[in-house]
Structure 1
Amino acid sequence: MSEDLGLPELRELAKSFWAKEVTPHQPRWRSAHQVDRELWTTAGGAGLLCVGVPEPYGGGGGAFAHEVVLAEEQARAGDTSWGRTAHDIVARYLLLHGTERQKTRWLPRMAAGELVGALAITEPDAGSDVQAITTRARRVAGGYLLHGAKTFVTNGIHSGLVLVLAKVADPERRTPPLSLFVLETAGLPGLHRGPALEKIGLHGQDTAELFLDGVELTAEHLLGEVEGRGLAQLLPLISRERLLIAVTSVAVMETALAETVRYCKQRRAFSRPLMRFQNTQFVLAGAAAQVAASRALLDSTVAAELVRGASMAEVALAKLWCTERLGEVLDSCLQLFGGYGYMSEYPVARAWADARVARIFGGTNEIMREIVAASLGE
C-alpha cells in the first residue's frame, strides 16, 4: 500500500466504501447492536483491513498515516458501528509481539476478514487498573487452562480471534505477572459470549462480555510464547489506540461544526436565519476555535508519532484535550439545533451520545491527567 496506494487514493477508496457498504445499513445495525458479519470479508477484499500490516502477512504494507486516514473517514461518515480499529490493533499486537508462526497463522486471515479481532482486557471489577484483573491462566500439561470474565469487549460477538489478558498462576509470586493469550474462538470449549450490551451510545457497535470457564490452550497460544510480558506488550499499543481516539474526535468535531453551520444558515427564527443572531455567531466562533486548536495539537502529535514515536505523555495530552473538546463542541452544536438536536434521526444527536465514551475508553481522562502531570516533573 505504501508504494501502490497513496494517502489521497486511500481516502477516496475509504469514502466510497463507507458510502456504499456502511452508511446505508447503519439504522439496521443500530437496532441489531452489531454490523453484518459479511462487512468484514467485504472490507478485507477491498484492502481496508490491517492496512499497517506488511504485505507478506496479507496486509496493506502501509504506515500509521494510512490508519489515520481510515479513522478520519470512518468518523466523517458518522460510523461508530464497525469495530475496525479494535480489529487492526489486535493485528498490531500480533505483528509486534507474535512469533513468526503466530503471525503467519493469524494475520493473513485477519487481513482477509476471515477472523475478526477483539481485545479482552477489562473485567467487571478491573478497568484502568489492569493489575487488578482476576482472570487466571493455570499451567497444565501441554499448555494453560483459563478462568475468568471480561467485559466491554468490542467485536465480542463476531470475534474469531481474541487477545485475553491474564495472570499466570505462580505460587512463588505474590503478584503474578500479566500475559496475553491468543484465543481462536471457533468451537473453543469453555468460551461463552454474553449478549450484546445495551449502551447509551455506539448502538451499532458489537460490544459484549466473554466468559472463560476452563478454556484449554496450548503453549503456542501465549503471545510471543514467553510468559510475563503482557504489560510491556500492552502499553505501546494502548498509546496508539489513544491517539486514534484523538484522531476520531477531531474528525467528528470538524464534521459536526460544518453540519451545524449549514443548518444555522438554513434554519429561520423570528424571520431571519439563525446565523444572523449574535449568539449563534459567538457560539460557532468559540466552537471553531476549539476545533482549530484540537486539529493543531493532533497534527503535531501524529507527526511526532510518524517521525520518532510520540511519547505516552504526548499522546495522553492529545487524547485528553481532543476528547474534552469533543464533548463541549458537540454540546454547543446540539443546542443550536434546538429540539431537533435531541432527535436521534439527526447525526448531531447520535454523535453527542456516541462521544461520551471517548473520555472513558482507551484509559479514562483521569488517567490521562495522571500521565501528563507525571511528565511535567521529568
Structure 2
Amino acid sequence: MDFELNDEQRMFRDVLRDFVDREIRPVAQEWEASGRYPAEIVETMRELGLFGLTVPEEYGGLGADMVSFALTFEEIAKGWMGIAGILGSHSLSCWLIAKHGTEEQKARYLPDLASGVRRTGIALTEPDAGTDLQGIATVAHRDGDCYVLNGRKTWITNARHADPLPVLCKTDPSASPAHRGMSVILVEAGTPGFTVERDLPKLGYKGTESCEVLLEDVRVPAAQLLGGVEGRGMQQVLSGLETGRINVAARALGIAQAAYDEALKYAGQRQAFGRPIGDFQAVQLKIAEMAAQVQAARLLVYWAASRSDGGHRVDMEAGMAKAFASEAAVFCALNSMQVHGGYGYSKEFVVERLYRDAPLMMIGEGTNDIQRVVIARALLAGNAAIG
C-alpha cells in the first residue's frame, strides 16, 4: 500500500505548480473580477501539452495516467478554478472520442485536439434535463447520409471554442427505455443552424464561458455519429462521466487546499490582542478540521484515480471522491472566510473567490445526492465493497 506519488508524477506536479505560480496566480484576481478571457494562459496550456491529457500518445497526446490527470486539475484549481474548467470539458470530450470514436473520427480530430489547435467540450444539459439525461428533448433524424439536429443545450463550457462539440441527442425518440434511442453526434463549429447564444451569468466559475446552444435544422454528415452506431450515446456519456467526476473531485480538492493554505497563512500573520490569531484555540480548531478534510479528500481522489488506472470500473469510487471533496471545498472555503474575519468578505482576498467557486463542485457532473444514490446502488448490487 503506497500513498506516495511516483517520481514521474512528482515531476509533473512540480511543472504544474511552476506554471500556476508564474502565470495564473498573479492575474487570477484581476482577470476573474473583470471577466477577461485568459487567452494567454490557454496558450501556455497548449505549449505544455495539457490539452492532450486524455489523448493517446499515438495521436500526439500525453496519454496521462489518471492520477496525473487528477493532479492537473488539483493544481490548476488551486490557482483559479475557472481555468481548470477550460481543460475539464475538453479532456472529457477527448476521452470520449478516443474511447468510443471510429478510427476515422480519431484520426480526424485527436491530433488537433491534443495540440490545442482544436478545442472541444460536451453538450449534455438542457433547460429541462440535467440530472435526468434520458429526459433530453434534442433530436436527430436521419435524412439520407446526414442527421438533422434540433434542440437546445445549456450550461455548455467551451461552447464558443468547441470544434467539434459532441451533442447528446435522441436518434430514436420512441425507444423504450429512452437510453436505447440516444446517440452522440459530433457537430463542427460553423455548421449552419448551430448557434452559440448568450453567456450565462454566474456566481463564480469565471474565466471560461458557460453558454446556451441552439440547434435549428443542423445538418451533420452521418459519419459524425460517435462510434458509428446509433443507440450507444448514453453508455458512452456515462462511461466518460466517471472520468469527469474525478476531474471535478480534483478541482474541489484544489479549492479546499487553497482555502486551507490561505487560512493557515493568515492565522500566522494576523494579530489580535497582541498575539497571532493562530494562538487562539477557536482558530486552531478550524485549521485542524480543514487540514483533515483536505487530506481525506486527497486520499479519496487519488484512490479513485488509481483504481481507474488499474482498469476498474470506478463509478462508486469517483462518486465518493466527488461528493466528499466538493463538500470539503465548501467547508474549507467557509471556514477560511471565518478565519479571515471581515477581510474574508473582501474581493481583495483570494478566499472570497474560493467561496464563490466551491458550491458548483457539489452540483457539476451530477449532484452530490445523485452521487450517493450511485454509491448505494453499487454497494447494494454487490458490485463494490468497503472494508
**TM-score normalized by structure 1?**
0.92
Find the aligned partners of 1:368 and 1:120 in 2 and give their Cα distance: 20
Q: Which amino acid is the alignment partner of residue 298 of structure 1? A: V
2:193 counterpart of 1:190: yes
Give the equivalent residue in structure 1 for 2:4. none
Find the aligned partners of 1:257 and 1:213 in 2 and give their Cα distance: 47
- Specify which of 164, 169, 186 is matched with residue 167 of structure 2: 164
2:183 counterpart of 1:179: yes
Cα deviation code 1:212-268 (max 9, x no counterpart): 011100011100111000011011210111112112222322222122111011101
Give the equivalent residue in structure 2 for 1:286. 289
* CA pair 283-114 structure 1, distance change in 2 beyond 3 A: same
Cα deviation code 1:66-93 (max 9, x no counterpart): 2122112202223423511111111100
- Specify which of 84, 87, 93 is matched with residue 84 of structure 1: 87
Find the aligned partners of 1:19 and 1:349 in 2 and give their Cα distance: 19
- Specify which of 1, 5, 8 is matched with residue 6 of structure 1: 8
**Aligned runs of 1:128-277 on 2, under 5 Å?**
128-169=131-172, 175=178, 177-185=181-189, 187-277=190-280
Q: Which amino acid is the alignment partner of residue 12 of structure 1? A: D
Find the aligned partners of 1:329 and 1:323 in 2 and give their Cα distance: 10
Find the aligned partners of 2:236 and 2:110 in 1 and give their Cα distance: 17
Which secondary structure state, in structure 1, belongs to the residue aligned with residue 20 of structure 2? helix
Query: What number of residue pairs does the alignment pair up?
Result: 373
Q: Give the conservation status (yes or no) of the 8 Å contact 2:28–2:79.
A: no
Find the aligned partners of 1:347 and 1:172 in 2 and give their Cα distance: 49
Q: Give the conservation status (yes or no) of the 8 Å contact 2:139–2:173.
A: no
Structure 1 residues not aligned, in runs of 5+: none
Which secondary structure state, in structure 2, belongs to the residue aligned with residue 8 of structure 1? helix
2:120 counterpart of 1:123: no
Q: Give the conservation status (yes or no) of the 8 Å contact 2:139–2:150.
A: yes
Which secondary structure state, in structure 2, belongs to the residue aligned with residue 120 of structure 1? coil
Cα deviation code 1:182-224 (max 9, x no counterpart): 0111x21001111221100112221111100111000111001
Aligned-residue sequence identity (percent) comes to 33
233-242 or 68-77: which moved more? 68-77
**Alpha-carbon distance, 1:362 to partner:** 0.4
224-233 or 246-255: which moved more? 246-255
Give the equivalent residue in structure 1 for 2:3. none
Find the aligned partners of 1:8 and 1:345 in 2 and give their Cα distance: 32
**Alpha-carbon distance, 1:41 to partner:** 4.4
* CA pair 291-42 structure 1, distance change in 2 beyond 3 A: closer
Q: Give the conservation status (yes or no) of the 8 Å contact 1:41–1:112.
A: no
Q: Give the conservation status (yes or no) of the 8 Å contact 1:157–1:196.
A: no
Q: Give the conservation status (yes or no) of the 8 Å contact 1:178–1:230.
A: yes
Give the equivalent residue in structure 2 for 1:356. 359
2:73 counterpart of 1:67: no
**TM-score normalized by structure 2?**
0.90
* CA pair 172-50 structure 1, distance change in 2 beyond 3 A: closer
* CA pair 37-163 structure 1, distance change in 2 beyond 3 A: farther
* CA pair 18-103 structure 1, distance change in 2 beyond 3 A: same
Cα deviation code 1:97-146 (max 9, x no counterpart): 00111011011111121111110000000001000000000111211000
Give the equivalent residue in structure 1 for 2:385. none
Give the equivalent residue in structure 2 for 1:30. 32
Which secondary structure state, in structure 2, belongs to the residue aligned with residue 61 of structure 1? coil
27-36 or 210-219: which moved more? 27-36
Find the aligned partners of 2:313 and 2:347 in 1 and give their Cα distance: 37
Find the aligned partners of 1:118 and 1:32 in 2 and give their Cα distance: 24
* CA pair 37-263 structure 1, distance change in 2 beyond 3 A: closer
Cα deviation code 1:264-320 (max 9, x no counterpart): 111012222111111111121222222232223333322222223243122212211
- Specify which of 103, 108, 119 is matched with residue 106 of structure 2: 103
Which secondary structure state, in structure 2, belongs to the residue aligned with residue 81 of structure 1? helix
RMSD: 2.0
Give the equivalent residue in structure 2 for 1:18. 20
Give the equivalent residue in structure 2 for 1:49. 51
**Alpha-carbon distance, 1:170 to partner:** 5.4
Q: Which amino acid is the alignment partner of residue 66 of structure 1? A: S
Q: Which amino acid is the alignment partner of residue 213 of structure 2? A: L
